[in-house]
Chains A and B, each alone.
Chain A
């Protein structure tokens, strides 16, 4: 087999607005690769969140819908119920999914909506300028936690992959990260499996991705990448928290 890599066909030839080294760019590219590999461009419908990825539809060459902040899984539900044969994914940040949209994500998961959720956990509100997120680790300073996140008053970071894995209609819940080429390959595998889960009508799938935000982590892109492995995984352990193929098997 010849060695080669080409920009995926499902990725539009447009320079993104993301900061250098941003995990959103990698996630978009991987989604496009998976769509190409599964050959589902003509039946995939994506939900763009409110967050840095609000114009994800500018970059992915598929039908896409905007959702009000946090309602992304509810909009995805409406699309999937209308078109059960389509492949529907909801792309969400941690503010979108784990703060304002907590009710929507839990109930979509609990109903076992046959959709795929791609959850970009960068532990911060990127779009609005680096405020504290429900996933911000303890003691981390942000523009709205200038003294560091205080667990006494602000609680601990929300662990979404674990939380949703506790729901019986969830087929696949996994946490992966972007910290090295190998880790990014694992993200790609997780996305492939999550889409396959949906295409086999197994039910709700979520891929939580620890994703660098160099800008508001105030790290250069390479340090931010390594930070995912060094710091983020202390709070958010990687793992397959639910897998229909080996029910109950947690890593």
Chain B
């Protein structure tokens, strides 16, 4: 299970992560962040395959991804 964390402080809502996610795991939020932009948000965490494309293109290093220990 992967955990995607998008830092709303750093995210400028450029949309690059959403555009380059091959699995549609991310989307742009309709809410406004404290920076006054529509930030990226996680649409479907379960869809994420951990390719890290989103972190690679993010100009603001706003995305962190980690693998959660299998917990049930």
Contact = CB atoms under 8 A, between A and B. Distances in A.
Give yes or no for direct A-B contact (beta carbon below 8 Å).
Answer: yes
Nearest to B21: A181
A220 interface: yes
B28 to A, nearest CB: 11
B61 interface: yes
A214 B15 CA distance: 12
B53 to A, nearest CB: 4
A5 interface: yes
B14 A5 contact: no
A15 B61 contact: no
Chain B CB count within 10 A is highest, among A3, A16, A19, for: A3
A150 B18 CA distance: 37
Interface residues of A, number: 32
Nearest to A25: B59
Contacts, number: 83
A88 B37 CA distance: 36
A222 B67 contact: no
Nearest to A180: B20
B59 A22 contact: yes
A218 to B, nearest CB: 15
Interface in B9-67: 9-10, 12-16, 19-20, 35, 37, 50-53, 55-61, 63-67
Interface of B: 2, 9-10, 12-16, 19-20, 35, 37, 50-53, 55-61, 63-67
